[in-house]
Structure 1
Amino acid sequence: MVVEFLYHIPIYVVFLFLVIVFPVSAFLGYLLGINYFRDKEVVEHSSFIPTTILGLLALLLGFTFSMAVDRYNRRSEVVVKEANAIGTAYLRTDLIPEPYRTKAREALREYVSLRIATYNVGYEKAKIQNLRGRSVSLQDTLWADIKPLASKDRTPIMGLYIAAMNDVIDVSSERHFATDNQVPEVVYLIIFIVTFLGVTSLGFIDGTAGKKSRFGIFMLSLLFSAVIALIQDLDRPRRGIIRVSQQSLLDLQSSMKD
């Protein structure tokens, strides 16, 4: 499991940091322009720079937003898929004899609780690994119980139960991958750099022209910061404002009563 540096920082800290850094960079660009490059010719030949940089930034933000939304949607889909797989396996325990039936149902109820807890534990790596290990242990137990049943009963009915348990195991790996598959941190680093250069160039142009557009640059900085924070929030499956709903697993947990 790869958890990078930015994902440990609360989203509001990232937002506040960007809201401060971008206007400051614009002000530094303004000071540079007004003190060293206050020349009409420089203004005429430099006006394309912020336009080009901000155009590139728009492409980067759109591309990254699409990546984050795709990952968010995939995480949401796989939660429903896992709930359906576990629910099907639980129903098909009716097809197996005692004492395997009761043991399998108890294990599946515990398994659902572990899958919910794995999401709610946050970014504590040790706890995540512990919960995932317990989930794998339960999978091994459930699969070990299938072997003597399969050797005694090779009917299509038993095959349905085996297929259902196989789906439960397969979808767990799929969910782990979807959860850990985040937008590479280097993409955010490039966005930060391009945004920094963009607002700095805006301040520089204002300085060379002898103008002060503090409000406009601040609003742009605020907007860029909000969009970047939104993208990062979408890409944080276990924390933040936008969360992947676990309702399908919670509903399944409520319904798994004997």
Structure 2
Amino acid sequence: MLDGFVDFVLEKVPLWGVAILLILLCLAARRAGVWVRQRFHPQSPAPPESAGSDPSDYIVGAIFGLLAFMMGFTFAMAMDRYSDRRTAVREEADALRTTYLTASVLDQPSASRTQYAVRQYAHSRIAPEGLWNDRTEAALNESHALGLRAWQEIRAAILPIRDTDLATYLVETTNEAISQGRHREILGRTHLPVLILDLLLVYTIVAAGVLGYIVGPERRGARHASTALLVLYTAALIVIIDLDRPQEGMIKISQQPILDVVGIMDADRDGSLSRPPPAPPN
């Protein structure tokens, strides 16, 4: 039940909304901890701030120290996935560029038709911004159709020369471009296990409740400091989610490698790469 709720929130609510919701939950949990202390242990008020160190302070330190360790470990996992996605964009761009340039060696009109199909496919590989929705899914399906069309054009172009090294190399680069694209899509849809995010969410809220119970209603200065602490931990958790789901927040995967390749292809719309060089002057 919790897994479905977390997935629903992360998929339907913007990250800034998730941040506000999490902060409110933490503050409510802290307030609930204060209420529990007043309700069940009214005879044991918290020591004044001028007093020496209290054993309960070590409990708070241990709880939030463990939370920091868990967040640090999860952040490292999310950062690795982010780096893999960024690398996948560059590798797909390189494969598309190699395929396009290799197709220029074909005879006309095969070279122009093949390059046009590859160029159309490359345009569809620029990832859209925003949440994943039906419109994004339709754009991805169209990209798959364009990739199939590019492969069909290349197949038709190399059939007459299928026994040559050029045909072999063009097939390899085309397969590499399509495979890198599929790999990139898989990475884009592979997230941290929801159980880990559930654990961090529940642990943060419980830690806020324990913090409220230990701080109590008397230590007003400590309550202000605890609010800042909860906001900082919430911000760290939101950054982890943002890294793990690059289509939904402020941290995006740069599409510049694909844009650069598309720019090269668009600049070659006249097919200058496919034309033979001019004959040297006599």
Q: What TM-score, normalized to structure 1?
A: 0.89
Flag the structure with more relative contact order, 1 or 2, with Cα contacts below 8 A and sequence separation at least 6: 1
Following superposition, the deviation at residue 223 of structure 1 comes to 0.6
Distance 1:242 1:129 in 2: 21
One of 181, 192, 198 as aligned partner of 1:183: 192
Percentage of pairs with the same residue: 28
Aligned to 2:89: 79
CA 1:41 to 1:33, structure 2 compared with 1: closer, same or farther past 3 Å? closer
Whether the 8 Å contact between 2:128 and 2:136 is mirrored in structure 1 is no
For the pair 1:10 / 2:10, whether they are aligned, the reply is no
Where does the alignment leave 5 or more consecutive residues of structure 1 unmatched?
A: none
Aligned to 1:104: 114
Following superposition, the deviation at residue 230 of structure 1 comes to 1.0
Distance 1:39 1:54 in 2: 26
Following superposition, the deviation at residue 17 of structure 1 comes to 1.3
Distance 1:246 1:107 in 2: 20
SS at 2:253's partner residue?
coil
Aligned to 1:133: 141
Whether the 8 Å contact between 2:46 and 2:219 is mirrored in structure 1 is no
Following superposition, the deviation at residue 40 of structure 1 comes to 5.4
Following superposition, the deviation at residue 10 of structure 1 comes to 0.7
Aligned residues: 253
Aligned to 1:248: 257
Distance 1:56 1:39 in 2: 30
Aligned to 2:167: 158
Q: Which amino acid in structure 1 is aligned with residue 33 of structure 2?
A: G
Distance 1:51 1:39 in 2: 24
One of 80, 88, 106 as aligned partner of 2:98: 88
Whether the 8 Å contact between 1:75 and 1:178 is mirrored in structure 2 is yes
Q: Which amino acid in structure 1 is aligned with residue 230 of structure 2?
A: S
One of 22, 25, 31 as aligned partner of 1:27: 31
Structure whose alpha-carbon radius of gyration is higher: 2
Distance 1:130 1:207 in 2: 54
For the pair 1:206 / 2:212, whether they are aligned, the reply is no
Where does the alignment leave 5 or more consecutive residues of structure 2 unmatched?
A: 1-5, 48-53, 269-282
Whether the 8 Å contact between 1:19 and 1:221 is mirrored in structure 2 is yes
CA 1:237 to 1:162, structure 2 compared with 1: closer, same or farther past 3 Å? same
Whether the 8 Å contact between 1:49 and 1:201 is mirrored in structure 2 is no
For the pair 1:219 / 2:228, whether they are aligned, the reply is yes
**Cα RMSD (Å) of the superposition?**
2.4
Q: Which amino acid in structure 1 is aligned with residue 106 of structure 2?
A: I
Following superposition, the deviation at residue 39 of structure 1 comes to 5.3
Whether the 8 Å contact between 1:95 and 1:161 is mirrored in structure 2 is no
Q: What TM-score, normalized to structure 2?
A: 0.82
For the pair 1:144 / 2:152, whether they are aligned, the reply is yes
Following superposition, the deviation at residue 138 of structure 1 comes to 2.0
Distance 1:166 1:95 in 2: 18
What do residues 136-192 of structure 1 show as CA deviations (whole Å, max 9, x unaligned)? 222222222333444321111221211111111110111011110111233222111
Distance 1:45 1:97 in 2: 82
